[in-house]
Amino acid sequence: MQQKRKDYIIIGFALFSMFFGAGNLIFPPHLGKEIGPQYIWGIIGFIITGVGIPLLGILACIKADGNFENLSIKVGKKFSYIYSIALFLLIGPLLAIPRTAATTYEIAIKPNFTNFNLFIFVVIYFIINLFFVLKPSKVIETLGKYLTPILLIILVLLIVKGIISPIGDLAPQILDKPFSASLIEGYQTMDALASIVFASLIISSVKAKNYKGKEIIKLTIKACLVAIIGLAIVYGGLIILGAHTGGLWEELSNTELLIMISRSVLGHLGTIVIGIAIGIACLTTSIGLLSSGGNFFERISKGKLSYNLNVIVMAVISIGLASIGLDNIVSFSAKLLSIIYPFSIVLIIMNLLDRYIKNKLSYKVTVYVTLIVSILSTLGSIIPKINNIISYLPLSKEGFAWIVPALIAFIISNYFIPPVEEVLSKEDSLLNMD
C-alpha cells in the first residue's frame, strides 16, 4: 500500500509538472487583473477548462487503452489519422514546445541577462531537452522526484505571501463577462489537448512499474487527482494575485505583469525566483511533449521513423519557431486553438459517454458540425460578414457559438436518424426481395 501511494504521488507530480508549462503561469495573473472583484468567477471558469477538461481527457484516453488516436477513430480512419497528427503538431513543435522556450527567455533570461541572444538561448534550451528525452525511461522519474518539488516550493512561496500581504487593491473590472472570458482563457493553457498526449506517457509509466489490469486504471486516476488538485490551487492563487494589482500597472503584457507581481511580492529576488519557476515549468512541459511526440511518430510510422530521429527533428523545428518571439507565438496560437479545442472537447465527452450513444454516426455528425462552426467563428474575427452570420447563434458573444449546434447535431443524429447498421440491413433485404 505504501509503495502504491509513493508511486501515484511521484507520477502525479510528474503529470503536474508536464501540464504546468508556459501558459499556466502567464495567463492566470492577467485574467485576474482584468476581472478584479469578480476573481471567484475567474477561478471557477479557468479551472473548468484548464483543469476539469484535461482530467476528462485523461479518463477518455484510459478508456481508449492509452492511445489518443482511438479517441477519434469513430469519426473515421482518415479523420483520426489527420487529427492525431495535427493535434500533436500543434501542441508539439508548431506551438506549445516553441512557446515554452520563448516564455523562458522572456521571463527567466531577458530581465536578468539583457544582452543574452534569443537564438543562442533557444539552442541551449533544446540541447538540455534532448539530454532528458533521449533517455525516455528516466523522464517520469526525474520530473516527479526532482524538478516538481522545486517548482511547487517557489510557487507556494509566491502565492501564500501574495495572498497574506496583497500588493494592491482589487483592480477595476474590465471584462463584462468574467466567467465566459475565463473559460476561453483556460483554452490558452492547452492542457485539454496536452492531456490526450500525456495520457499515453503516464499509462506507460504505470505499466513499467509492473501494475496490471484494473490496478493500472486505479493508479493512473489517483495520479491524475494529485496533478489536478495541484493545478487548481496554483491557478486560483495566481488569479487572486493578479486581481490585487489595482492602480499599480497599466498596459503590461502577460509576462511583464507576472514579473512585476513576483518582484512586488518577493522583492528584488522576485524576478530571479519567478524566472527559476518558469524555467522549470517550461522545461518539464517541453520534455514531456518531445518524449510523447517521439513515441507517437515512431508508432504511426511503424518504426520507420525512430524515436531519437523524431525528437531531434522536433527540437530543430522548435528552435526555428521559438526564435520568432513569444508575442507572435501567443497571437498565432489563439486562432488555431479556437478551431481545434471545441471539437476536441466534443470527442472527449462523447468517448466518456460512449455507452449512451445509440447511433455511432453521431460521432461523425457532431464533430464535423462543431468543426465547421469553429472555423466560421474564427474566420468571423477577421471577416465581418461571417461574424454577422455567426452572431445569430446562441452563446456567440460569449465565444461558444459551437455549443448549441453541437448539441442539436448530437440529438438529431443520435435519436432521430436510424443507425447506419440498420439502414444497411434494410437495403440488403430490399435487394434480396428483388
Supply the pLDDT for residue 143.
Answer: 59
* Confidence check: pLDDT of 356 > 80: yes
* Confidence check: pLDDT of 43 > 90: yes
Closest CA to 342 of 398, 419, 285: 398
The verdict on pTM exceeding 0.85 is no
pLDDT in tens, 238-274: 999 999 998 888 778 888 888 888 888 888 777 787 7
Mean pLDDT of the chain: 84
Average pLDDT of 160-173? Answer: 91
Percent of the chain surpassing pLDDT 90: 29
* Confidence check: pLDDT of 23 > 80: no
Q: What are the two backbone dihedrals, phi and then psi, of residue 411, each rounded to the nearest 5 degrees? A: -60, -45
The per-residue DSSP string of 299-362 comes to: HHTTTSS-HHHHHHHHHHHHHHHHTT-HHHHHHHHHHHHHHHHHHHHHHHHHHHTGGG-S-THH
Distances in Å between the alpha carbon of 300 and those of 60, 73, 294? 20, 14, 10
Average pLDDT of 61-72? Answer: 78
Give the up-direction half-sphere exposure of residue 82: CA atoms within 13 A in the CB hemisphere. Answer: 6
* Confidence check: pLDDT of 65 > 80: no
Range in 146-150, 152-156, 174-178, 391-395 with the lowest mean pLDDT: 146-150
CA–CA separation, 203 vs 222, rounded Å?
Answer: 12
Split at pLDDT 50, 70, 90, the class of 427 is very low
Give the up-direction half-sphere exposure of residue 420: CA atoms within 13 A in the CB hemisphere. Answer: 8
CA–CA separation, 182 vs 175, rounded Å?
Answer: 10
* Confidence check: pLDDT of 182 > 70: yes
Split at pLDDT 50, 70, 90, the class of 430 is very low
Split at pLDDT 50, 70, 90, the class of 334 is confident
Supply the pLDDT for residue 26.
Answer: 83
247 vs 85 pLDDT, higher one: 85
* Confidence check: pLDDT of 37 > 90: yes
pLDDT in tens, 121-160: 999 999 999 988 887 556 655 655 666 677 778 788 889 9
Which residue, chain included where needed, has cell 522545461?
Answer: 283
Average pLDDT of 170-176? Answer: 90
pLDDT in tens, 404-424: 999 999 999 999 887 765 444
SS3 state of residue 249 = coil
Split at pLDDT 50, 70, 90, the class of 285 is confident
- Selected from 2.170.150.70, 2.40.160.40, 1.10.150.120, 1.10.4160.10, the CATH number assigned to the domain covering 1-329 reads 1.10.4160.10
Average pLDDT of 279-286? Answer: 80
Split at pLDDT 50, 70, 90, the class of 309 is very high
- Name the DSSP letter for residue 189: T
Average pLDDT of 294-322? Answer: 91
Split at pLDDT 50, 70, 90, the class of 373 is very high
The per-residue DSSP string of 373-410 comes to: HHHHHHHHTT-HHHHHHHTTSTTTTTT-TTHHHHHHHH
Contact 15, 224 (CB under 8 A): yes
pLDDT in tens, 198-242: 777 777 778 777 787 778 888 888 888 888 888 889 899 999 999
430 vs 334 pLDDT, higher one: 334
Supply the pLDDT for residue 279.
Answer: 82
Question: What does the domain layout of the chain look like in residue ranges?
Answer: 1-329, 357-433
25 vs 370 pLDDT, higher one: 370
Split at pLDDT 50, 70, 90, the class of 426 is very low
Which residue, chain included where needed, has cell 456567440?
Answer: 396
Supply the pLDDT for residue 147.
Answer: 64
Give the up-direction half-sphere exposure of residue 6: CA atoms within 13 A in the CB hemisphere. Answer: 6
- 85-89, 269-273, 285-289 — most confident range: 85-89
Contact 16, 42 (CB under 8 A): no
Supply the pLDDT for residue 149.
Answer: 75
Split at pLDDT 50, 70, 90, the class of 22 is low
* Confidence check: pLDDT of 425 > 60: no
Supply the pLDDT for residue 369.
Answer: 96
Which residue, chain included where needed, has cell 490585487?
Answer: 244
